[in-house]
Amino acid sequence: MRKFLCIIIFSVMLVAKDDWGYGVDESKNWGNISELYLGCKFGKQQSPINISPKHVSPGAQSFTLKYLPAKGVNLRLDNHTFKITYPKGSYIEMAGTRYILQEIHFKTPAETIINSQARPLEAQFYHEDSKGRMLIMSVIFDEGRANPLIERLNKSLPKESNKSIFITNVDANELVPKSLESYQFYGSITYPPCTQDVYWIVLKNHMRIMQIEADAMREITGENARETQDIADRLIMEN
């Protein structure tokens, strides 16, 4: 499985990194840019989605989260998105499987929609298990008081694509609410090649951020939220 994923990643790198963009017209065209992106057009479990009560049932799995403070992380601008590469050692454990935290992506505005209400920012925590299976945990930010970690990251935002800036003493826990009640479902990554079979955990409790903090990121990336996708016959579970 890991070898197969490496082949996919290498193949995607052969396509120009900035050959696609956001906005309804552009994102609807992703599947026409390359055969590697056909999942964006024909996939039946695409993300993000609009979560509403009529689609939700009980039965979400319990999980434990262990994020360790990092002495330093690399923050980069990659494909219209600010991404943090997190050092190994932090993970989510669910049903006996450990998913290691790889990266944190920031979306402005939030991609995941709850009850049709848009929010200013979403942090997506990308994890992978030993077999290459992906899990994304989503934390949505409402407008409110400043978030100290976001405030500090904003002081060092790279303005050039693929330029990394090293930031010391970063604790991912500062981006996560205390309660881990969640919605859970299968979806995809939200950018080309729109790979599916990704397990999503969307935390019900939100964090807070000042609008000016989200604006600082968006001024550089532009709006980088894919439009919501059809839920189809997917089961969305909650706890």
Which of the residues 55, 80, 105, 206 is marked catalytic?
80
Active site residue 127: no
- For residues 191 and 43, the answer to whether their CB atoms sit within 8 Å is no
Tokens of 185: 């479902």
CA distance 60 to 185: 9
38: Cβ contacts below 8 Å, ≥ 6 apart: 31
CA distance 200 to 171: 22
> How many Å from the N-terminal Cα to the C-terminal Cα in the chain?
30
Q: List, by residue number, the catalytic residues.
A: 80
